[in-house]
């Protein structure tokens, strides 16, 4: 698991895209802090040299009302939003890797169970063949044993295909289309702990989805502040010189330009920013409820899976194994029919598969909780 998580951290394309987005927001913040460029203006009056007037002036826009600071705050909130998006993607990637790795472990264990089932079926077929040869069993029972063995072989082929698909899904998370590892090392039997309710409640406020929604609200509020500050008009200061050839002297020029908010008072943009801020506030409330509901559901799944595992481990599996051993030995000595052996074998394999599914479900539920809350997956 640590190796898989490390590979995904360095090779996952979606995670890399989130990092690029964060870097791009750094550029937006740098641009937001920049001052307006000055403007150089030249005006030539009259084409005749004797009466020509030449004006050269420098115009500088002066932002008033704290617009630059407000614009910088929007960029900073955008950087915070990108950081929250990266954290969310990291949590998603860890959960995907954890789930895919558990699927590979489960598929490996499923293949081991299928091999064991084939060995059991082959042993049953061998015992049946010897009993038929000795005249103690009907040839029909041997046919049934061969059919059961063939069915187990089909399940074995399906399990191999499942393992191959699980391996490809795992390696795709770090950009490899073809798996290069031969074995995933881990223990499905190590059940994840059920987090206390107090710990879950404390971590909900820092859940990646909630943090992202909170950052989006902060950015929208900063955008609203920008639109409100635009009500203060900016001033353009002009300083220059005018050369009059006819008068034979230079004249200093000082100008001040101020827009008159007669037709455009930026009311539409302010209303748009206000409503989008309200929308972001509602989305934050919805995100909190959604995360809380999803965590509760995942916690319930984990608790149920843990109970199923304990029940299967302590009661069902030992009973099924004991019943199969007794039926197999009894059939070998002629005390039970082959149908009894088949039924006991089917029950044992079903119990083992249920145990494997319960273990997988517990690991998946734990990974889902960690994805929602944003904590690193257990290694």
**Joined tokens for residue 12:** 């996952």
Which numeric CATH code is attached to 1-260+279-373?
A: 1.20.1600.10
**Which residues on neighbouring strands pair with residue 69, listed in sequence order?**
none
Digit-coded pLDDT (tens) for 91-105: 999 999 999 999 999
With CA atoms as reference, report the closest residue to 59 among 42, 78, 83: 42
Dist CA 31 CA 24 (whole Å): 11
Digit-coded pLDDT (tens) for 301-342: 999 999 999 999 999 999 998 988 888 788 777 777 767 777
Dist CA 1 CA 201 (whole Å): 27
Residue spans of the domains in the chain: they are 1-260+279-373
Q: How far is CA 284 from the centre of its chain?
A: 18
pLDDT of residue 136: 67
Which DSSP string corresponds to 171-214?
HHTTT-SS---S-----TTSPPP---HHHHHHHHTT-HHHHHHH
Q: What is the mean pLDDT of residues 41-46?
A: 91
Residue 58 has pLDDT above 60, yes or no: yes
DSSP designation for 47 = S
Residue 379 has pLDDT above 50, yes or no: no
Digit-coded pLDDT (tens) for 131-188: 777 776 667 777 877 787 788 888 889 999 999 999 999 999 999 888 888 899 998 8
């Amino acid at each position: 698991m640590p190796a898989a998580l490390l590979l995904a951290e360095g090779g996952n394309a979606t995670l890399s895209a989130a990092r690029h987005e964060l870097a791009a927001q750094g550029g937006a913040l740098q641009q937001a802090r920049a001052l307006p460029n000055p403007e150089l203006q030249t005006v030539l009056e009259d084409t005749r040299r004797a009466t020509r007037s030449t004006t050269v002036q420098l115009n500088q826009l002066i932002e008033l009302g704290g617009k630059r600071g407000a614009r910088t705050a929007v960029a900073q909130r955008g950087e915070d939003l990108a950081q929250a998006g990266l954290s969310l993607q990291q949590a998603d990637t860890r959960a995907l890797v954890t789930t895919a790795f558990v699927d590979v472990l489960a598929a490996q264990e499923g293949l081991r169970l299928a091999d064991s089932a084939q060995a059991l079926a082959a042993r049953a077929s061998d015992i049946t063949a010897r009993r038929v040869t000795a005249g103690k069993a009907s040839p029909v029972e041997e046919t049934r044993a061969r059919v059961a063995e063939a069915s187990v072989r089909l399940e074995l082929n399906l399990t191999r295909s499942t393992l191959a698909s699980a391996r490809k899904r795992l390696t795709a998370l770090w950009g490899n289309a073809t798996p290069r590892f031969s074995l995933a090392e881990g223990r499905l039997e190590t059940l994840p702990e059920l987090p206390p309710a107090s710990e879950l409640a404390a971590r909900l406020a820092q859940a990646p989805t909630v943090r992202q929604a909170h950052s989006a609200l902060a950015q929208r509020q900063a955008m609203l502040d920008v639109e409100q500050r635009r009500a203060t008009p900016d001033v353009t200061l002009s300083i220059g010189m005018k050369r009059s050839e006819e008068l034979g002297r230079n004249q200093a020029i000082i100008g001040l330009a101020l827009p008159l908010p007669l037709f455009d008072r930026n009311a539409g943009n302010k209303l748009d920013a206000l409503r989008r801020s309200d929308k972001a506030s509602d989305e934050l409330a919805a995100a909190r409820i959604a995360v809380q509901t999803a965590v509760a559901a995942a916690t319930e799944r984990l608790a149920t899976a843990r109970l199923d595992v304990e029940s299967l481990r302590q009661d069902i599996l030992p009973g099924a194994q004991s019943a199969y051993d007794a039926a197999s030995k009894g059939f070998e000595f002629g005390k039970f029919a082959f149908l009894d052996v088949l039924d006991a074998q089917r029950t044992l394999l079903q119990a083992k598969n249920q145990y494997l599914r319960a273990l997988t479900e517990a690991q998946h539920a734990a990974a889902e909780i960690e994805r929602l809350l944003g904590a690193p997956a257990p290694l």
